[in-house]
């Protein structure tokens, strides 16, 4: 019998990128639809989207038999020294909340060199050696503080339009950080966005894979995006992160099976980037995605 890891979903799969946005699905509807779609585990999403009072949020989750796997913060440690305060202020809010709800992970996303809101180029797309050192030292410091203060593990998330996206960049990041404090939230779609081989990375660094985000990229739309140096936000609008079970890559089954081999308690959270979609669009996809995952492998459990 193959091992099974815990599969959930996230506000991102309902098109939620910001704490507040007039076109995003209301948080109560999101929770209702997560339950209806057959999931138990969710991520917090942008801090302030779901209620931030731990008692209120715990009650809302319990009423729907839901639980939180992780929260998310954003960092820019390769920049100025004041980035530590920015990161830790977020961590106090997010880790402080999710730790009260029983979560033990914090997904950490690096700042993008190109804005995911406006597509504006903000800085050079490559880091020099000094910036790489600052990036690695900052994440190890954050991971140590999270573990000591909250008992929470840092899971670093490589990202399209960020400085850590390609196989070689992720590999360098792992070599320059300490496995005690810094490991990966391997986002299958973002890693495939720059043609990275998820299974190759998982086989090369099994001890560094601490968490998964499940998504697929549409190969034809991805080819267009890369050919034309399309901003990630525009590629999302064209549907580059596609509904699982169609023409998208990578296949989930071997990734889930390898993850279960690494750690049967690992979380795999479905994240289909589709900011800007209609509020009626996500739920049917979320339900079909759950069914697809259940049908393609025995390495998934939804509790």
Annotated domain spans of the chain: 5-301
Residues 6+ apart with CB under 8 A from 261: 3
Q: Label residues 146-172 b or e (16+ Cβ within 10 Å = b).
A: beeebebbbbbbbbbbbbbbebebbeb
What mean pLDDT, rounded, does the chain reach? 96
In angstroms, rounded to a whole number, what is the distance separating the alpha carbons of residues 54 and 51?
Answer: 8
Range 67-92 average pLDDT = 95
For residues 122-140, one letter each, b for 16 or more C-beta atoms within 10 angstroms of the residue's C-beta and e for the rest, the string is eeeeebeeebbebbbebbb
Q: How far apart are CA 252 and CA 263, in angstroms?
A: 16
CA distance 31 to 28: 5
- SS3 call for 66: coil
pLDDT tens column, 141-155: 999 999 999 999 999
**Two tokens at 79?**
């920049």
How large is the average pLDDT for residues 220-233? 97
Pairing label, strands 5-9, 300-301: parallel
Q: Which two tokens stand for residue 123?
A: 């800085």
Mean pLDDT of 161-171: 98
Q: Which residue has the tokens 């308690």?
A: 265
Q: Is the pLDDT of residue 1 over 70?
A: no
**Structure tokens, 105:** 């992970």
The yes or no reply on domain 5-301 and CATH 3.20.20.150 is yes
Report the greatest alpha carbon distance in the chain: 50
Per-residue pLDDT at 276 exceeds 90: no
pLDDT computed for residue 2 by the predictor: 67
pLDDT of res. 272: 86
Instruction: Determine which helix (DSSP H) or strand (DSSP E) holds 213, and give its type and residue range.
Output: strand 209-214
Report residue 132's pLDDT band, with 50, 70 and 90 as the boundaries. very high
For residue 166, is pLDDT > 80? yes
- What whole-number distance in Å separates Cα of residue 158 and Cα of residue 187? 7
- Cβ atoms of residues 158 and 211 within 8 Å: no
How do residues 250-263 score in pLDDT, each as one tens digit?
999 999 999 999 99
Q: Whats the size of the chain, residue-wise?
A: 303
Q: Alpha carbon of 21 to those of 18, 57, 59, 283: distances in Å?
A: 6, 20, 24, 18
DSSP-H helix ranges across the chain: 27-37, 54-63, 83-100, 129-150, 167-176, 188-193, 198-204, 219-227, 232-237, 252-262, 282-296
What is this structure's pTM? 0.95
Res. 107: pLDDT tops 60: yes
């Amino acid at each position: 019998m193959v091992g099974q890891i815990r599969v959930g979903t996230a506000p991102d799969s309902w098109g939620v990128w910001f704490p507040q946005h007039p076109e995003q699905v209301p948080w109560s509807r999101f929770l209702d639809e997560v339950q209806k779609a057959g999931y138990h585990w969710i991520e917090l999403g942008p801090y302030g989207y779901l209620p931030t009072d731990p008692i209120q949020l715990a009650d809302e989750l319990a009423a729907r038999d839901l639980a939180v796997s992780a929260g998310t913060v954003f960092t820019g440690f390769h920049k100025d020294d004041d980035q530590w305060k920015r990161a830790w202020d977020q961590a106090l809010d997010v880790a402080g909340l999710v730790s009260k709800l029983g979560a033990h992970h914090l997904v950490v996303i690096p700042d993008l060199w190109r804005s995911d809101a406006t597509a504006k180029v903000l800085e050079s797309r490559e880091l020099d050696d000094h910036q790489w050192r600052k990036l690695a030292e900052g994440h190890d410091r954050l991971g140590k503080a999270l573990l000591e203060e909250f008992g929470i593990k840092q899971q670093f998330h490589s990202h399209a339009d960020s400085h850590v996206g390609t196989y070689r960049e992720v590999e360098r990041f792992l070599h320059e950080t300490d496995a005690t404090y810094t490991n990966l939230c391997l986002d299958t779609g973002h890693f495939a966005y720059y043609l990275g081989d998820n299974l190759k990375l998982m086989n090369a660094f099994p001890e560094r894979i601490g968490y998964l985000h499940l998504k697929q990229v549409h190969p034809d739309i991805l080819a267009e995006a890369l050919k034309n140096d399309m901003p990630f936000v525009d590629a999302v609008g064209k549907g580059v992160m596609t509904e699982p079970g169609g023409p998208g890559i990578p296949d989930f089954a071997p990734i889930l099976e390898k993850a279960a081999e690494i750690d049967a308690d690992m979380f795999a959270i479905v994240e289909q980037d589709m900011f800007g979609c209609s509020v009626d669009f996500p739920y049917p996809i979320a339900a079909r995605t759950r069914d697809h995952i259940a049908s393609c492998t025995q390495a998934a459990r939804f509790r």
